[in-house]
Amino acid sequence: MSYVLVINSGSSSIKFQIVDPSSTAGDTAFVSGLVEKIGERGGKITVTYRGEKHTSNQPIRDHRGGLQLAVAMLDSLDAGPTQLDVVAVGHRVVHGGQTFSGPALITDEVVEQIRDLIPLAPLHNPANIDGIQVARDLLPDIPHVAVFDTGFFGDLPAAAATYAVNREVAEANQIRRYGFHGTSHEFVSGQVPGILGRDAAEVNQIVLHLGNGASCSAVKAGAPIDTSMGLTPLAGLVMGTRTGDIDPGIIFHLYRHAGMSIDEIDTLFNRSSGIKGLSGVNDFRDLHKKISKGDELAKLAFDVYITQLRRYIGAYMITLGRVDAITFTAGVGENDAATRAAALAGLETYGITLDPERNAAPNDGPRVITTDDSTVTVLVVPTNEELAIAQKSAEVAAR
Ligand code: ADP
């Protein structure tokens, strides 16, 4: 059995999984783990292997120290990357800019190219590079592959990718719509034709990736023709802590009249806005608890979220002309029946009829939640970004 080690390196955490890339669905992680609070108090490493959780609490100075400890812990369980047949290490990289429209075998030059894209993703790409460098040093004999969150959207039609910002300024600063969560949109949209029993070339679909971050895409014959995130993952739908689309004039207003710095506005929009900024909580389970207790701010937050979601669904129905499938995925999309019901309520005229019982069923693999006579099929398809990264990485490593 051969495996891929998948690494998602963030600013203060590293998530990893050892995945069998030939697995098809369900829980595909052979081993999974998390290094938390890197460079902070309360460092912790957790590894789950064969259903058992192993934890180690200790200070973790940096990404190098964290990954070293994680590999040592895996080795002690006989599940280390050099003990198993690990054929590739797949790294999730947030921004591939206009340089990468698909996964790339990592070389020194590729690392430099990812570094050159830091201005486009100042919070994410540096942490991704840390993870890559440490893992390459620790596992030099295994091919490393970068899989970009923007990759799937590299060939968006020019009219969808171009902002109506002065062309010279936009070109000089690489300003365009890049789109994110591409690995998830590609993985989920790739499953839908099979579930419908149709050829991918015939299927027009809308994919709603609703997690803590949220985005949607319009996919025609397997290729995206529009997506809600933009130059950065701040655009589009309302999210757990991010604004989604807002009038850019709000930035000038806060800068000029509230005396906020650009960094303060950046933090406000990314970390303390969205559902959290409106209601005080960002997890939909907590939001529903508040709503059921009559909390009006929580109800407003949910309504704002749904209103924005419906704006995009409506827009993409027109963009696609004919819609065959609308698919919900990620934490909220897979688990929150109330969000799905509200997002598609009253759209029977457009051929969308949810079946309330199917919609309320627990999340257990891909399923259809519309009635049999609904013209548009609405589905819930669990995403699995780690499996998708593993598959792509194994493919690139075998070339
Ligand atoms: P990310 O990968 O972006 O951190 P996920 O896709 O895991 O996020 O989604 C996490 C979110 O999913 C949580 O913040 C919560 O709002 C929502 N969620 C998870 N489980 C449930 C559930 N059972 N019911 C409603 N919402 C849920």
| pLDDT, tens only, 225-238 | 999 999 999 999 99
253: CB partners within 8 A, 6+ apart? none
Task: Give backbone dihedrals phi and psi of 50, rounded to 5 degrees, phi first.
Answer: 50, 45
Q: Which domain holds residue 93?
A: 3-173
Q: What pLDDT does 393 receive?
A: 97
How far apart CA 228 and CA 242 sit, in angstroms, is 13
Residue whose CA is closest, atom 27 of ligand 1? 332
Whether residue 155 sits in one domain with residue 206:
no
Which residues does the annotation place in the binding site for ATP?
A: 15, 209-213, 283-285, 331-335
| DSSP code for 37 | -
Residue whose CA is closest, atom 12 of ligand 1? 331
Closest C-alpha among 135, 152, 142, 136 to residue 100: 152
Residue whose CA is closest, atom 13 of ligand 1? 283
Per-residue pLDDT of the chain (399 residues; tens, 9 = 90+): 899 999 999 888 999 999 999 987 666 788 999 999 998 888 999 999 988 999 999 999 999 999 999 999 999 999 999 899 999 999 999 999 999 999 999 999 999 999 999 999 988 999 999 999 999 999 999 999 999 999 999 999 999 999 999 999 999 999 999 999 999 999 999 999 999 999 999 999 999 999 999 999 999 999 999 999 999 999 999 999 999 999 999 999 999 999 999 999 999 999 999 999 999 999 999 999 999 999 999 999 999 999 999 999 999 999 999 999 999 999 999 999 999 999 999 999 999 999 999 999 998 899 999 999 999 999 999 999 999 999 999 999 998
- Give the chain's domain count: 2
What is the value of pTM for the model shown? 0.95
Return the structure tokens found at 18.
């050892």
Query: Could you tell me if residue 191 is inside a domain?
Result: no
CATH number at residue 50: 3.30.420.40
Whether residue 161 sits in one domain with residue 12:
yes
| Residue 51 CA to ligand 1 centre (angstroms) | 22
Whether residue 272 sits in one domain with residue 377:
yes
Whether residue 116 sits in one domain with residue 68:
yes
268: CB partners within 8 A, 6+ apart? 254, 260, 277
Return the structure tokens found at 123.
């919070």
| pLDDT, tens only, 238-277 | 999 999 999 999 999 999 999 999 999 999 999 999 999 9
Q: Hey, how many other C-beta atoms are within 10 angstroms of the C-beta on 212?
A: 17
| Residue 98 CA to ligand 1 centre (angstroms) | 30
Residue 90 bridge partners (DSSP): 6, 145
Is residue 225 within 8 A of residue 320, CB to CB? The reply is yes
| Residue 383 CA to ligand 1 centre (angstroms) | 12
| DSSP code for 62 | S
Whether residue 151 sits in one domain with residue 297:
no
What residues act catalytically? 149
Which residues does the annotation place in the binding site?
A: 8, 15, 92, 209-213, 283-285, 331-335, 385
